[in-house]
Amino acid sequence: MTGFVIAAAVIVALVLVLLMRPFFRRAGPRTTSHQDLNSAIYREQLAKLEQDLAEGTLGKDDYAQARAELQRRLLDESQAEVAAVTMNPPRKTMIGIALAVPLVAGAFYLLIGSPASMSGDGGAAQVAGNQELEQMVASLAAKLEKEPDNPKGWAMLARSYKVMGKTVEAEKAFERAGSFIDDDASMLAAYADTIASNNGGQLAGKPAMLIQKALKADPDHPMSLWLSGTADLETRNYSQALRTFERLAALLPPGSDDARMLEGAINDVRARAGLAAKASPAVPAAPAVTMSAAAGGNVSGTVELDPSLKGKAGPDDTVMVLARLPGSRMPLAAVRLRASQLPVKFVLDDSLSMNPQSPISAATVVEVEARISKSGLAKPEPGDLISAPQTVKVGASGVALRVAQVRP
């Protein structure tokens, strides 16, 4: 921690030196008058006239006339009142910069950095950070009660409440934002998702109307497309859900985590509609894993939700259990479950491999974690409920994943 503080202080000092170097260069006060400036200009113009005369580009009569005009102008200026202009270093500006730079840098680090990583007591630091966030949000809410006609502020408060998992308060704030969010697909989708969370995960009614409004504002908005497809699944409109998910799949980077997870959802919809699963063109078919290679090549256990977060998970939220190589972001295997099934048992084996060329049975040690997502997308989002990752040997059973944290 000491090394980090010293390094940060040195960097701030260097920035201050660079910012205030122009002020230091003229730190000594000096006085300049209009007469001095005019005299300098007169000398320069007179020298130019003499040069033109010597080069023959200006006649003698024209030279005499121009010289007389310069002398007259200088005389007029010298008879006017001399206005002294004192040029001193802007001490207030320098002091303001010296105070603002370290304060702003510190504030930004607290906002987007990882202060907890400098201390061994990371949990306490995270709790303190959460308390600070709650205080800021409470302060914003109090301010908006005095300024009810501030739709932009209500929209910001709604988003903050949603990230904190306070969906009831978030829905009320979204409502206060009114028409301000009518052209913002992200906010409309978040509003729809919030209402659905408060209605047991059901997207029928107002959430569905908001989703369509979001797609009208941005037809290619990923979150809105996902919610639209999910709403179609609720009404068993499998053909429309399939078209929506396939449209979303075309927008995702091929081979990405989101694309692979969405491929599983598409195959699930096709199975419900009585259609054959569609093979992924991005991943070539791999030879079947033999029983000898897969023997014991799985990880099994249970996922449970901490009672303190019970109100933050809707029954239709997606539970994802992932296994990846330590230090890697790409999952080796993943399974999707429903929050209504919690606590639930899971088995991650080669049948759930994200890439048949890299089955979980070929690994020795994996990192396993669980995440509860309202959007169901593979990419982690603020407000997701997560468990602490556990590093286990492939073949381990009885792995207990407890979802007890909210992703900031």
CA torsion sign for 239, 244, 250, 255 is negative
Lookup: tokens for 397: 């059973």
Q: Are residues 258 and 135 in the same domain?
A: yes
Q: Determine the structural domain holding residue 305 and report its residue range.
A: 296-406
Please give the tally of structural domains in the chain.
3
Q: Are residues 153 and 91 in the same domain?
A: no
- Structure confidence at residue 283 (pLDDT): 39
Assigned domain for 111 exists: no
163-167 contacts, C-beta under 8 A, 24 or more apart: 163/382, 163/383, 163/408, 164/133, 164/134, 164/137, 164/383, 164/406, 165/309, 165/312, 165/383, 165/406, 167/194, 167/197, 167/198, 167/312
pLDDT band, residue 293 (cuts 50/70/90):
very low
Residue 348: CATH number of its domain: 2.60.40.1120
- Structure confidence at residue 301 (pLDDT): 93
Q: Are residues 153 and 236 in the same domain?
A: yes
Assigned domain for 67 exists: yes
Assigned domain for 379 exists: yes
DSSP-derived 3-state class of residue 407: coil
How far is residue 175 from each of residues 136, 140, 207, 216, 225, measured CA to CA in Å? 21, 16, 12, 19, 22
Q: Are residues 93 and 198 in the same domain?
A: no
Cα gap 281→32, rounded to integer Å: 77
Lowest mean pLDDT of 30-34, 223-227, 376-380, name the range. 30-34
Structure confidence by residue, pLDDT tens digits, 98-146: 676 677 676 666 555 555 555 444 445 445 555 666 788 888 888 888 8
Q: Are residues 311 and 235 in the same domain?
A: no
Q: Are residues 261 and 149 in the same domain?
A: yes
- Structure confidence at residue 84 (pLDDT): 43
Structure confidence by residue, pLDDT tens digits, 84-94: 444 455 666 66
Helix (H) or strand (E) holding 372: strand 365-373
pTM value is: 0.45
Q: Are residues 97 and 150 in the same domain?
A: no
Cα gap 138→68, rounded to integer Å: 75
Structure confidence by residue, pLDDT tens digits, 369-382: 999 988 776 677 88
β partners of residue 369: 322
Write down which residue in 56, 82, 101 finishes a domain: 101
Cα gap 258→406, rounded to integer Å: 21
Cα gap 365→370, rounded to integer Å: 17
What average pLDDT score do residues 197-226 get?
A: 87
Q: Are residues 332 and 217 in the same domain?
A: no
Q: Are residues 327 and 239 in the same domain?
A: no
Instruction: Scan for tokens 């449970």, then name that residue.
Output: 304
Q: What are phi and psi of 344, to 5 degrees?
A: -140, 150
Assigned domain for 301 exists: yes
Q: Are residues 181 and 307 in the same domain?
A: no
- Structure confidence at residue 59 (pLDDT): 73
- Structure confidence at residue 21 (pLDDT): 65
β partners of residue 387: 403
Assigned domain for 124 exists: no
Q: Are residues 353 and 395 in the same domain?
A: yes
Assigned domain for 258 exists: yes
Lowest mean pLDDT of 78-92, 312-326, 372-386, name the range. 78-92
Write down which residue in 257, 272, 287 finishes a domain: 272
- Structure confidence at residue 113 (pLDDT): 56
Assigned domain for 286 exists: no
- Structure confidence at residue 352 (pLDDT): 80
pLDDT band, residue 402 (cuts 50/70/90):
very high
Structure confidence by residue, pLDDT tens digits, 332-360: 888 888 888 889 999 898 888 776 667 88
Cα gap 257→370, rounded to integer Å: 15
What residue spans of 87-121 are helical by DSSP H?
A: 91-112
